[in-house]
Amino acid sequence: MTTTPPPVFEGVDAPHAAEGIRGVIGRRRADRRTDAQGDRGIVSGHDRKKRGVRAGLGGVHGVLFVGLVVAGLGPLLWLAKSAVTPTQDTLRQPLALWPNGIDWANLPQAWNDVHIDQFFWNTIVIAAGSWAFQLVVATTAGYALSVLRPRYAPILNGAVLATLFIPAVVLLVPLYLTIVNPPLPGDVSLLNNYLAVWLPAAANAFNILLVKRFFDALPREVFEAARTDGAGPFRLFWSIVLPMSKPILGVVSVFAIIAAWKDFLWPMLVLPDPAVQPLSVRLPAVQQSIELDVFLAALAISTLIPVALFLVFQGVFLRSAGLGGAVKG
């Protein structure tokens, strides 16, 4: 599923995005608030006064609450409970609210004996590297194609866009062979080297498209003024364009880190040495060799960071995810 093309961002235009991503999504809602009708949806204020509709909305509340708590929170709560429950309890009574005994030792055992600590660190290194490489490539390329605009820019643009139509699956084997036997002098291989994950991740046409569109809509007058004041292309990039682009850099960062954290097949292929593998690759591998309760503790620890990040940066996550809806339907 990691190869699914990312959601649509056609609606991200800089004037609104400059107000922050909230500006992009909140724009229509804000427009609507100024409307004489106020904030309304399908159900009108008049409808809401009817008894049947009120009962119906109450029912909707109930269904949403129960359904979402069970489906969204339920599995995570179960995982948290089972992480500290002895194996036999989990197997015999998976839905018992209170286990017969609490086995706190599962957590340190998973962390130390299963070496979750190390795989955790590997995951962080992979995500951080992918993030850095993607950001560098996307911003420099977007800047060159949008602001510097050499004459051959349309050709490069087309070559980048074309890769969007090529599904990742077609790259799998040739890319793997490139990593095994890179076009470098001597007998080198990038297997078990994090560059094998970072560099292909940076060849992301979607990032470039996103950043370029954002740069396209930045006011040219600012660039002209900077150039008149003697700013060269590097100064313009670093001191003018990048500081104006924080919203889109945030979006690219969220996507880069999430994608790196989730990726499974590619790191499994190019990082065959367990010592350098991320959690996503190690967890299925250690499953056979450890007891269920320790394994569930390992799963719980692996879920902790993404869930914690989500809870802290909820707004950024949901706005990035919802940007797809900014397409004008």
Residues 293-322 that bind another protein (CB under 8 A): 295-296, 299, 302-303, 306-307, 309-311, 314, 317-318, 321-322
Helix (H), strand (E) at residue 241: none
Residue 114's SS3 state is coil
Enter the DSSP assignment of 275.
G
Can you give the C-alpha Rg of the chain in angstroms? Answer: 25
Total residues binding another protein (CB under 8 A): 133
For another protein, give the closer residue by CB, 31 or 101: 31
For another protein, give the closer residue by CB, 141 or 210: 141
Cα three-residue angle 160-12-41, rounded to 5 degrees: 140
**Shortest Cβ distance from residue 56 to another protein (Å)?**
8
Give dist(CA 97, CA 92) in Å, integer: 13
Helix (H), strand (E) at residue 202: helix 195-202
For another protein, give the closer residue by CB, 39 or 243: 39
The footprint of another protein on residues 250-279 (CB under 8 A) is: 261-262, 264-265, 269, 279
User: Which is nearest to 194 in space by CA: 275, 252, 295?
Assistant: 275
Interacting span for another protein (CB under 8 A) from 58-66, 97-105, 108-116, 249-257? 58-66
For another protein, the binding residue among 34, 42, 243, 288 (CB under 8 A) is 42
The footprint of another protein on residues 3-22 (CB under 8 A) is: 3-5, 7-8, 10-11
Give dist(CA 145, CA 150) in Å, integer: 7
Q: Does 150 bind another protein (CB under 8 A)?
A: yes
Phi, psi of 114 (to 5 degrees): -85, -5
Q: Does 186 bind another protein (CB under 8 A)?
A: no
Show the binding pattern over residues 199-238: x = contacts another protein (CB under 8 A), - = does not: xx-xx-x--x-------x--xxx--x--x----xxx--x-
Residue type, 304: L
The footprint of another protein on residues 81-100 (CB under 8 A) is: 82, 90-95
Q: Does 108 bind another protein (CB under 8 A)?
A: no
Structural tokens at position 164: 């969007």
Give dist(CA 210, CA 206) in Å, integer: 6
